[in-house]
A = this chain, B = another copy of it.
Amino acid sequence: MEPFGMMDALGHEQVVFCRDEASGLKAIIAIHDTTLGPSLGGCRMFDYRSEAEALTDVLRLSRGMTYKAAIAGLDLGGGKAVIVGPRSSKSEAMFRAFGRFVDALGGRYITAEDMNTNEQDMEFIGRETRWVTGRSPAAGGTGNPGPVTAWGVFHGLRGALHHATGSPSVEGRTVAIQGLGNVGYGLAKHLRDAGAELLLCDVNQQSVERALDELGGEPVEGDDFYRAPCDVLAPCAVGGVISARTIPMVQASIICGGANNILDDEDRDGQALRARGIVYAPDYVVNGGGIMSVNGELRGESRDKVLADAARIYETVREVLGRADREDLTSVRASNLLAEARIAAIGSVKGLWTGKV
């Protein structure tokens, strides 16, 4: 494990190893790129098998946040934190110690909920630092960003439809949704309201029944999701579901969902989808409503402003897919290039002297 070697390869600015003996805290904070603004990304907790595994995870995730914030048009950089250990080792002291390390970075890293961390943990962090966001309304935050994410995915899906068919209208289109949590259910509702047909799928059968009752549509199960005869597949649950195994099953012409890391292997699966003529709207572009919500909370923006920004994912998806076609790139590669170009351009603007000495 060579931190500088990995930082070189992925382009990181700073990696901070934090340890508090009294509470047992061991955390790594990775700050990938702060050209656009302070780095933001969730703090997950996981019982990694090794330090190298924890470092690899936090470096990879923080880099992803740089691209997500940049393509969302936000003034944020990419960061992420991991706390090493089992959930059973959680304590107030541990999260407050973590909060003090976050605070000592003076705002260069802003934290939030993530895998295995919750509102209560953020509340403890928030007693030690103001650099925590995505907090509950009770704690002065705007709460769950899921509804904004769902609104953004809906508009991203309209953008993908426009690109593929010439019209953004979802009326009469069939969309299969995998995962009926905050984002998937919200997306289903927006689609139903706009006249789409729904195929609904969730590991929890009660969630499916509730959604069918409230929204209508048909259930699908297991691999039938991938084989569904429909226009759009929308994975909104776990990552890695579009893979060498499932791509041959796909009949839809578009994949566009709210889950993170939908592709099992970004390059290989992106190319396979392109070869089959299936339009893939990059997940991190499509689900950018979440970071917009958190950004809005940080900057005190109105809910209307945040929702209007999320609706603009429609245009971003069209731009990304257009560039992918023009330059014969995977859509992820195209959106990465757009994100990198924005970072370089804004970095240049920031180099201009503004009269302060």
Selected contact of A105 from candidates B5, B11, B105, CB within 8 Å:
B105
Nearest chain-B residue to A5 (Cβ)?
A: B51
Contact of B12 with A15 in the complex, beta carbons under 8 Å: no
Cβ contacts under 8 Å, A12 to chain B: 19
1/0 contact string of A177-205 vs chain B (CB within 8 Å): 00000000000000000000000000000
Cβ contacts under 8 Å, A338 to chain B: none
Contact of B2 with A51 in the complex, beta carbons under 8 Å: yes
Interface size class of A (residues with CB under 8 A): 20 to 34
Segment 1-36 of A: residues with Cβ below 8 Å from B: 1-5, 7-8, 11-21, 26
How far apart sit A12 and B21, CA to CA, in the bound complex (Å)?
9
* Chain A residues in the interface with B (C-beta under 8 A): 1-5, 7-8, 11-21, 26, 51-52, 84, 101, 104-106, 108
Cβ contacts under 8 Å, A84 to chain B: 4
Interface centre among A1, A18, A52 (most CB of B within 10 A): A18
Contact of A104 with B101 in the complex, beta carbons under 8 Å: no
Contact of A19 with B26 in the complex, beta carbons under 8 Å: no
Contact of A3 with B4 in the complex, beta carbons under 8 Å: no
Selected contact of A4 from candidates B4, B8, B17, CB within 8 Å:
B17
Cβ contacts under 8 Å, A21 to chain B: 11
Cβ contacts under 8 Å, A7 to chain B: 17, 19
* Nearest chain B CB to A32 CB, angstrom units: 11
Nearest chain-B residue to A31 (Cβ)?
A: B104
Nearest chain-B residue to A30 (Cβ)?
A: B17
| Copies of chain A in the complex | 2
Cβ contacts under 8 Å, A2 to chain B: 1, 51-52
Selected contact of A3 from candidates B13, B51, B101, B108, CB within 8 Å:
B51
* Nearest chain B CB to A96 CB, angstrom units: 13
How far apart sit A1 and B11, CA to CA, in the bound complex (Å)?
21
Contact of B16 with A14 in the complex, beta carbons under 8 Å: yes
Interface centre among A7, A14, A20, A51 (most CB of B within 10 A): A14
Contact of B3 with A8 in the complex, beta carbons under 8 Å: no
Cβ contacts under 8 Å, A18 to chain B: 13-14
How far apart sit A106 and B105, CA to CA, in the bound complex (Å)?
7
Cβ contacts under 8 Å, A5 to chain B: 51
Cβ contacts under 8 Å, A51 to chain B: 2-5
Contact of B17 with A14 in the complex, beta carbons under 8 Å: yes
Cβ contacts under 8 Å, A4 to chain B: 17, 19, 26, 51, 84
Do A13 and B20 contact each other (CB < 8 Å), given the known contacts A104-B105, A104-B106, A104-B108?
Answer: yes
How far apart sit A101 and B16, CA to CA, in the bound complex (Å)?
11
Interface centre among A2, A19, A51 (most CB of B within 10 A): A19
Contact of B8 with A13 in the complex, beta carbons under 8 Å: no
Contact of B19 with A8 in the complex, beta carbons under 8 Å: yes
